[in-house]
Amino acid sequence: MASDIEIDALRRALEIARARGNALPNPTVGCVLLSPEGREIASGATVRHGVHAEIEALRAAGGAAHGATAVVTLEPCNHTGRTGPCSQALVEAGVRRVVFAQSDPHETAAGGAAALAAAGLDVEGGVLVDETADLNAAWSFAVTENRPFVTWKYAATLDGRSAAPDGTSQWITGPEARRDVHRLRAEVDAVMVGTGTVLADDPRLTIRDADDQPLAPDRQPLRVVVGQTDIPATARVRDSSAETLVVASRDPHAVLATLADREIRHVWLEGGPRLAGAFWDAGLVDRVIAYLAPTLLGAGHSALASAATTLTDGRRLDITDLRTLGPDLRIMATPTAREELV
């Protein structure tokens, strides 16, 4: 059974992972190496498109890793990708014990615990698994369901209008809500809109920091434009601030299949009501984030164009978080499982 020192180290590894942030398409992982006496030797976190947490910690520890205990938020991988297997690296470094929280759900990468045990290491998994479950919820969904996790974000008035009758929509919500959008965008690896939104609003679809400065291109999510209408070369999504992919399809399943082939794990859907409605009606929205402004229009464009025709066609949501941001309200919710509605 994991000791109190190991449990504290696992919480520390979780903090390190969260501080490093988005590592997609890799999972977000933190690792702490403990000496035989229980002292922290080194730590590491998985880098986006780069080194895994265990490798970073082993490099920092050097020879001190021999005889150490590795405490990791996710089961060490057992496959060769951009780096070699972390399980093998831990064995070669002379680590004697490995404690981890979540088992690796990735079919290709799983098996690290068994490989470590076969090499003679003492291995314990499932420690603080509930505390670490949210760290890679979207990534875990993507690798088990073979499609990206989809978060639909929209901003609307209290009566559900995303734009006035004349089409004006900037800005429905205030600066606090807009800053929150950029913070949450940084947790995904693709931002998606339809061609209609590009033509109407000419958005950048990039992340900006707290000082409203754009992040470097290598830290920007993939910009995805869906639809069969041509977009001009002068559109801001065509600039060099981030990579852009145009998917000439109106089929949500085909769009997600294309993104899955590119190892996209988490899509932030910001499209207009028709694109949102297509994904909603297809059952391909996994989380909803609604920013509601204390404004009433009484007319205008709805936030969602769905095929529902009667009240029983509506699908309920379970609210998971509710808070105010300046004058606005943010609601996070997940669609209720369809079988629960029967």
- Helix, strand, coil abundance in the chain, percent, nearest 5: 30, 25, 45
DSSP assigned state of 252: H
Task: Please give the Cα distance from 54 to 43 (Å, whole number).
Answer: 8
Known catalytic residue at 54? yes
Candidates 220, 275, 285, 266; CA nearest to 247 is 275
CA 122 to chain centre: 32
Q: Which residue has the tokens 């095929």?
A: 307
Task: Please give the Cα distance from 127 to 139 (Å, whole number).
Answer: 19
Task: Please give the Cα distance from 335 to 215 (Å, whole number).
Answer: 32
Which three-class secondary structure state does DSSP give residue 170? Answer: coil
How many CB atoms lie under 10 A from the CB of residue 137? 13
Task: Please give the Cα distance from 99 to 82 (Å, whole number).
Answer: 24
For 13-148, strand residue ranges (E) read 30-34, 40-45, 69-74, 97-102, 122-124
Q: Across the strands, what pairs with 150?
A: 267
Q: Which of 6, 54, 56, 75 is catalytic?
A: 54
Write the CB contacts of 211 (distance below 8 Å, at least 6 apart in sequence). none
Structure tokens at 24: 């997609």
Structure tokens at 150: 């989809």
Q: Which residue has the tokens 């992919």?
A: 245
Active site members: 54
